[in-house]
Chains A and B, each alone.
Chain A
Amino acid sequence: AQSVTQLDSHVSVSEGTPVLLRCNYSSSYSPSLFWYVQHPNKGLQLLLKYTSAATLVKGINGFEAEFKKSETSFHLTKPSAHMSDAAEYFCVVSNTGFQKLVFGTGTRLLVSP
């Protein structure tokens, strides 16, 4: 079975400071890993995905994540937070691409002025 653990339910940062959202995964196979963002009253949006190519993955809006197999981690980072980054972020794992996504419980990012 596969699963993800998002280590923080809430993360608070100030605008302009770095963002770190932590995710550990468990998978019996070489997984695909994703980060999705969910803004209030909007659909889930794919930020980035890892599918066994480069371990450092760059996504939209300045986000990136690094796949570390030895640590079974896939943490999401951004050098400088913006107010518009405030949202719920989900780490996701799959052994079948997008066919069956297994979501974590989410991390709510709060950005203060």
Chain B
Amino acid sequence: EAGVVQSPRYKIIEKKQPVAFWCNPISGHNTLYWYRQNLGQGPELLIRYENEEAVDDSQLPKDRFSAERLKGVDSTLKIQPAELGDSAVYLCASSVTDGDFEAFFGQGTRLTVV
């Protein structure tokens, strides 16, 4: 069974440029999460989707970050414009709907803003 797939794996951009990350969750998983992991830290939740609805986006910096999950499957996380402090690993995870089911993580996208 394929796991959570993220692309690209690495991205280097100049500050003030836009960037987008893509996530394909495990088939049949209705819940999708985006986490951000700063260097030397644990991941922090940015947003959680149940199907196509964002049910928890309280930690998403909405002035520059946006996310969408069209048709309740794939998801895209966008940053515009990027700042130096956005350099981090962006992780996508998915699970069967219901909090008791394990969340499976992708390998992440490492973003470097220069």
**Chain A residues proximal to chain B, CB less than 8 Å:** 41-46, 49, 51, 90, 92, 94, 96-101, 103-106
**Sorted from nearest, which 8 A-B pairs have the closest CB atoms?**
A97-B99, A103-B42, A44-B105, A99-B99, A43-B105, A98-B103, A97-B100, A43-B107
Main secondary structure of the interface of A (DSSP, over half): loop
* B53 at interface by CB-CB < 8 Å: no
Establish whether residues A101 and B107, one from each chain, have CB atoms under 8 Å apart when the complex forms: no
Interface size, chain B (Cβ < 8 Å): 25
Residues of A within 8 A of B102 (CB): 46, 49, 98
* B48 at interface by CB-CB < 8 Å: yes
Q: In the complex the two chains form, what is the Cα distance from A97 to B100 in whole Å?
A: 5
Would you give the shortest CB distance from A13 to chain B, in whole angstroms?
Answer: 21
Residues of A within 8 A of B93 (CB): 44
Residues of B within 8 A of A44 (CB): 43, 91, 93, 105
Contact of B100 among A43, A46, A98, A101 (CB under 8 A): A98
A sample of 27 inter-chain contacts (CB < 8 A) reads A41-B107, A42-B107, A43-B3, A43-B4, A43-B91, A43-B104, A43-B105, A43-B108, A45-B105, A46-B102, A49-B102, A90-B42, A90-B43, A94-B99, A96-B99, A98-B95, A98-B100, A98-B101, A98-B102, A99-B99, A100-B56, A101-B43, A103-B41, A103-B42, A105-B41, A106-B41, A106-B42
